[in-house]
Amino acid sequence: MAPSHLQHRRTHNLLLISKLLAQRDVASPFTLVLDSLEQAARPLIAEYIRRAKAANVQTIFVSFETLRKPRNVDSFICAWNQPGPSWQKEVANTIRLQPTQRKLLILDALNPLSTTHSLDLPALLSSFIGPGTSLVAVYHTDIPISPSITHRDPYSPAPLTLLNYLATTIFTVHCLQHVMARKKARDRSLEEPSFGLDQSVEGLMQGLGANGGEGLVLEMEHRRKSGRGVREWYILPHGSRANPNRLGPLSKEKFMLLEDHPDYRSPEPDATADAEEGGPEATTFELGLTDKQRRDREGVVLPYHDAQKGGVEGGRILYDMGSEDDFDEEEDEI
């Protein structure tokens, strides 16, 4: 890919992530965030809230597992201690207030709804979305599906499959240290390491480096209205805890592409080509000749040297047989 195309793609995708997080023009009505024990979605949700506050967007936080009201949240609704119809009515009433103001509705966990409202989950989530309201919901992928859902209707899709189908943008958060460790293993043609529950070690819940303080990796899949999908990997540093020496120069939007990270960046194609075509400097042995080798080469008389002097034999190669040669006039006659 040409450098101009790479720069265009880099600029376009950085502007896209900024537009999605700021919810400009309701770029993504339903954003699904997938997290795990190795990397929680809290830093990404905090970034959503921070940008909504800066853009004067009303933030409505529906809590299924959060006990305290997060910072910069306008409305905090506790759904974990209320029946379903009660908190749903409270959310609807809050959305109807100030209809001209843009609103961001955040659900900190969809797993309880996937269990209690598995059949009507699409209708429930769609009722919260409107022309000026965007929905951001978190789903914990490490929590197993309740067996009652499978026995209830074995032919219906799994809740996560249904959510992936409904979402207009899907963010999957990964641990930065784990992504770098897998990249180093791939570069060395080694088996990629596993972490946490994937290690299948009894009693082990989290791997080493989980929820690291330097930042997290975002795997984005955005679906446009035209049906065209955009996929990209980003790095979101954790504010002041990020190490600028490792994360490189951060943009104003705090995001950077994963491929631009110093520890993840691959060698430039031009540098690789220069190394291959660099001449003697790119090899481990000497290709040139010394003066003595050059004089010895010029002093060698080749078998066809006399034939080039224009003799009657034309281009015939002259050769003087020695005593060790075995020649039969009948068999070897040309």
Computed from CA positions of residues 241, 246, 248, 251, in that sequence, does the dihedral angle turn out positive or negative?
A: negative
Which residue ranges make up each domain of the chain? Answer: 5-260
5-260 homologous superfamily: P-loop containing nucleotide triphosphate hydrolases (3.40.50.300)
Residues 265-285 as b/e (b if ≥16 CB within 10 A, e otherwise) read: eeeeeeeeeeeeeeeeeeeee
Residue 255 has pLDDT above 70, yes or no: yes
- List the helix and strand counts (H, then E) for the chain: 11, 9
C-beta neighbour count of 81 within 10 angstroms: 8
* Torsion angles phi and psi, residue 84, rounded to 5: -55, -55
What's the CA gap between 281 and 278, in Å, rounded? 6
The confidence band for 245, taking pLDDT boundaries of 50, 70 and 90, is very low
* Torsion angles phi and psi, residue 38, rounded to 5: -70, -30
* Torsion angles phi and psi, residue 17, rounded to 5: -65, -35
The confidence band for 311, taking pLDDT boundaries of 50, 70 and 90, is low
Predicted pLDDT at 250: 40
| Closest C-alpha among 278, 214, 220, 269 to residue 246 | 214
Three-class DSSP category at 263: coil
Question: Between these two residues, 32 and 333, which has the higher pLDDT value?
Answer: 32
What's the CA gap between 144 and 23, in Å, rounded? 31
Q: What is the DSSP string of 163-187?
A: HHHH-SEEEEEEEHHHHHHHHHHHH
| Closest C-alpha among 100, 188, 183, 173 to residue 142 | 173
The confidence band for 59, taking pLDDT boundaries of 50, 70 and 90, is very high
Whether this prediction's pTM lies above 0.75 is answered by: no
Predicted pLDDT at 78: 93
Residue 174 has pLDDT above 90, yes or no: yes
Q: Tens digit of pLDDT for each residue in 1-21?
A: 556 778 888 888 888 898 898
Q: Tens digit of pLDDT for each residue in 83-117?
A: 888 999 999 999 988 888 899 999 999 998 888 88
The confidence band for 23, taking pLDDT boundaries of 50, 70 and 90, is confident
Q: Tens digit of pLDDT for each residue in 185-234?
A: 988 889 998 888 888 888 888 888 888 888 899 999 998 877 788 999 99
In the chain, the percentage of residues whose pLDDT exceeds 90 is 31
When mean pLDDT is compared over 82-86, 237-241, 294-298, the highest value belongs to 82-86
Mean pLDDT of the chain: 81
Strand order of the β-sheet with 229-237 is: 75-78, 58-63, 103-107, 133-140, 30-35, 169-175, 215-223, 229-237, 256-257
